[in-house]
Amino acid sequence: MSLPVHATALETVTYYGLRFFSALVLLFLIVPILIIIPLSFNAEPFFTFTEGMLRLDAEAYSLRWYQNIWDSAEWRLSIKNSVIVGVCATILAMTLGTVAALGLSQRHMPFKGAIMGLLISPMIVPLIISAASMYFFFTKVNLAQTYLGVIMAHAVLGIPFVIITVTATLVGFDDNLTKASASLGANPRHTFFKVTFPLIRPGVISGALFAFATSFDEVVVVLFIAGTEQRTIPREMWAGMREQLSPTILAVATLLIIMSTLLLLTVELLRRRSDRIRGVTE
């Protein structure tokens, strides 16, 4: 959006005023996050800027807290658990969410609105309620304090993201393509992998990335369901904040910020690619 050539004084003030206000809101949201990054290089075990850091003294900065991540058995275990749980939960959420989105996209699907609301309810219901419900259910079926239980719980939280992104990709999908494939003798499986999936792939991958980020960053459900062997990175950060306050947490948080930024950039690239495939011009 650009300022019109013959804009009035009021339009000019409004235009730049909105830009200035938006910049203030962005700074309000981003600055607290960005402060974590330089603090993670503090050579001293403090959560504040030292005089040497403010003077930009090289000796006041160190990578000791990043090194501590790899030297600590607890952090290595939490990273391993987060990767295993995140990947498995993402695969499960991606598969079930894509199937659900394809079913909901059918024109003659009964109770479509009610089913859609039920499937995306984990995004709406407060997480503490979902975690408590999962805890009582998984305890009954002996899945509490197991890897399978944590994976299934995180998959439940990730499925709504896959459903929403795939459903958005299916908007405007031309059913004549699948009919043409069937008329040429292709079976449903061949039609899906050769016709449907290439068109919805950006939505599937975007949903999978959101599901992975949700699993990697989730702590409430892990507090309820996971045992000592299933401690993930957020669970280890939670324990560190309560038991042993260390700048290692800031180093881990910085790495998570970088990972989240890369995931968001990837999602944006996939969105633009999906728009190009569908012939949408901005």
- The 10s digit of each residue's pLDDT in 160-211 is 999 998 888 887 676 777 778 777 777 777 888 887 888 888 888 888 988 9
CA torsion angle 179 182 187 190 (round to 10): -70
**pLDDT value, residue 282:** 40
Tens of pLDDT, residue by residue over 113-163, are 888 888 888 888 888 999 999 999 999 999 888 999 999 999 999 999 999
Give the chain's radius of gyration (CA, Å): 24
Q: Please count the other Cβ atoms lying within 10 Å of the Cβ belonging to residue 150.
A: 30
pLDDT level of residue 96 (50, 70, 90 thresholds)? very high
The helix-helix angle for 197-217 and 147-170 (nearest 10°) equals 140
Bridge partners of 61?
42
**pLDDT value, residue 49:** 83
Element (H, E) at 6: none
- Would you say residue 111 has pLDDT above 80? yes
Interacting residues of 229 by C-beta distance below 8 A, sequence separation 6+: 77, 81, 145, 147
